A and B are shown apart, each in its own frame.
Chain A
């Protein structure tokens, strides 16, 4: 920028500021221009310009206005070339547009748009569009609402940048087509649509979190922290929808899970399960915030999927030792979860909680019912759970066999290493002569 402006120096928080501004700027430009897809490209270019210029030139006095201005100029250029292209193609204009988009944009270019939270909320609903596949919605949300670059998103998912660029571009095309045919207009969903649309938004945010939380195991190199991005996005969603109990519940779930981050891997990046974690490493601040949010969510009435999962995480988090865990309460919560959101993993986790309350023999008895379920019967998690229960019963030979069956079934390397190590550990116990017999002096 050539005009003299007051600037502040670039620092570590500036990148964060840029990402916070991205959806606001996109909201303004998309609304002005009524074209989500092109606006997204223009804002992305403005963001890149800021990333290039601000670290050297300092941050402009009004960074948001700066970004809107640069993005709008880019939009004007694109509209001009589009108009020129159309004029070359047709000798007469049979259809006069009701509003000249170029004039419209130039008129508002330097005005200070007040921050309209609805703009950001519309963006979030557009990106988590029912017409998109999960991976497309995730990519688009991270770029348009999260303000991340395509390269950063590609890197986070370990796919080539060109592939991610195509994924985002196709997602935008689907949305554009859907806006054009007015299947899903560019506006806040109506009260009738809202529940279903919000469910998709929350699911997308949850998927971003799980991808990030799980993949930050072991070697991470310079990968972007998707779990923290998900928390940031959910915080803004929560600020926009303060009255929604499930949004609060989701934020609580993320915080209560993320709190265990430092404790869940060992020095070699190996997996440490919940009952073996060093709980002094758990982040007490995140736990306190998550618990407070959860209390607020419950006070709002309707209890949903995320609030229940958060409540289970909270019960685990409040136990200073694994043996202090309030399993009867967790069992009740899983029973509620089975009613609200039945599924295989809920059934399996319910059986684990049942075994923790009523003992491993009753747990194994309970698991027999799952053999009737074709998909669950061969699921490696079922074998892993059985292995654990046989170990607690003292039937180490069965446990070793089942740990290995489970290890052969998982597609997760850290989990496979963990399960194979469990089998090896128990086998050593089986083959080792009794310590008191071999070392009478010990």
Chain B
């Protein structure tokens, strides 16, 4: 079963976090080691970090399908900062990985306890249906 783990932390206009160097490095090292572990355990399908919201554009089809773009407004709510797609045997394993992501170290090395949204990825129908 594949799951998407979504880290929703960014706020538009908030800019990059101004953490002390050591804390920032600890956070980056944590993410690297997490991804390496997931790859080594044969669970990682994909992991990506997304650019900051100031790089985001809202796009709609205008006349004749021409893209009409708009900026993201500072008052917009939380943004997706990054996601992981993992392939695991049961939801509990996906939750365990999400808990690890959630506890990534923040300023002062304290766990951030970010809320990680875990969603099953739509798949094939169960064989009993067929």
Say yes or no for B45: interface residue by CB 8 A criterion. Answer: yes
Residue contact B89 to A135, C-beta cutoff 8 Å: yes
Say yes or no for B57: interface residue by CB 8 A criterion. Answer: no
A-side residues, CB < 8 A to B, are: 133-136, 139, 157-160, 162-170, 209-211, 213-215, 217, 257, 260, 264, 271, 273-274, 345, 349, 410-416, 418
Partner of A413, one of B43, B45, B123, B129: B123
Shortest A373–chain B CB gap in Å is 18
Residue contact A166 to B123, C-beta cutoff 8 Å: no
A143–B89 CA distance with the chains assembled, in angstroms: 19
Among residues of B, the one whose C-beta sits closest to the C-beta of A169 is B42
Q: How large is the interface on B (under 10, 10 to 19, 20 to 34, 35 or more residues)?
A: 20 to 34
Residue contact A166 to B42, C-beta cutoff 8 Å: yes
Chain B, range 90-115, C-beta contacts under 8 Å to A? none
Say yes or no for B14: interface residue by CB 8 A criterion. Answer: no
Residue contact A271 to B87, C-beta cutoff 8 Å: no
Most buried by A among B2, B125, B129: B125
Residue contact A416 to B127, C-beta cutoff 8 Å: no
Residue contact A414 to B42, C-beta cutoff 8 Å: no
A216–B42 CA distance with the chains assembled, in angstroms: 23
Chain B residues whose C-beta falls within 8 Å of the C-beta of A271 in the assembled complex? 125, 129-130
Say yes or no for B58: interface residue by CB 8 A criterion. Answer: no
Residue contact B42 to A411, C-beta cutoff 8 Å: no
Partner of B42, one of A158, A170, A345, A349: A170
Residue contact B87 to A135, C-beta cutoff 8 Å: yes
A-B pairs, 8 with minimum CB distance? A167-B42, A214-B124, A210-B127, A166-B42, A412-B125, A413-B122, A415-B125, A215-B124
Partner of B122, one of A134, A170, A411: A411
Known: A135-B87, A213-B130. A163 touches B122 (CB 8 A): no
A170–B126 CA distance with the chains assembled, in angstroms: 28
A contacts with B: majority SS? helix
Shortest B125–chain A CB gap in Å is 4
Shortest A333–chain B CB gap in Å is 14
Residue contact A260 to B87, C-beta cutoff 8 Å: no
Shortest A319–chain B CB gap in Å is 16
Say yes or no for B128: interface residue by CB 8 A criterion. Answer: yes
Could you give 7 example pairs across A and B, Cβ below 8 Å? A135-B87, A166-B39, A210-B127, A214-B125, A217-B130, A271-B129, A411-B123
Number of residue pairs across A and B with beta carbons under 8 Å?
A: 85
Chain A residues whose C-beta falls within 8 Å of the C-beta of B39 in the assembled complex? 162-163, 166
Say yes or no for B41: interface residue by CB 8 A criterion. Answer: yes
Chain B residues whose C-beta falls within 8 Å of the C-beta of A217 in the assembled complex? 124-125, 130
Among residues of B, the one whose C-beta sits closest to the C-beta of A136 is B42
A308–B114 CA distance with the chains assembled, in angstroms: 48
Residue contact B125 to A163, C-beta cutoff 8 Å: no
Residue contact A157 to B124, C-beta cutoff 8 Å: no
Chain A residues whose C-beta falls within 8 Å of the C-beta of B2 in the assembled complex? 158
Shortest B94–chain A CB gap in Å is 12
- Known contacts A210-B126, A414-B124; can you find 7 more A-B pairs with CB under 8 A? A163-B44, A217-B125, A411-B120, A411-B122, A412-B124, A412-B126, A413-B123
A140–B69 CA distance with the chains assembled, in angstroms: 49
Known: A133-B89, A134-B89, A215-B124. A415 touches B129 (CB 8 A): yes
A264–B127 CA distance with the chains assembled, in angstroms: 11
Say yes or no for B40: interface residue by CB 8 A criterion. Answer: yes
A163–B130 CA distance with the chains assembled, in angstroms: 30
Partner of B45, one of A159, A166, A210, A213: A159
Known: A133-B89, A411-B120. A163 touches B126 (CB 8 A): no
A273–B130 CA distance with the chains assembled, in angstroms: 6
Partner of B130, one of A160, A214, A410: A214
A272–B74 CA distance with the chains assembled, in angstroms: 48
Shortest A348–chain B CB gap in Å is 9
Chain A residues whose C-beta falls within 8 Å of the C-beta of B123 in the assembled complex? 214-215, 411-413
Partner of B128, one of A134, A167, A169, A349: A349
Chain A residues whose C-beta falls within 8 Å of the C-beta of B89 in the assembled complex? 133-135
Chain A residues whose C-beta falls within 8 Å of the C-beta of B129 in the assembled complex? 271, 273, 412, 415
Chain B residues whose C-beta falls within 8 Å of the C-beta of A168 in the assembled complex? 42
A133–B90 CA distance with the chains assembled, in angstroms: 10
Residue contact A416 to B122, C-beta cutoff 8 Å: yes
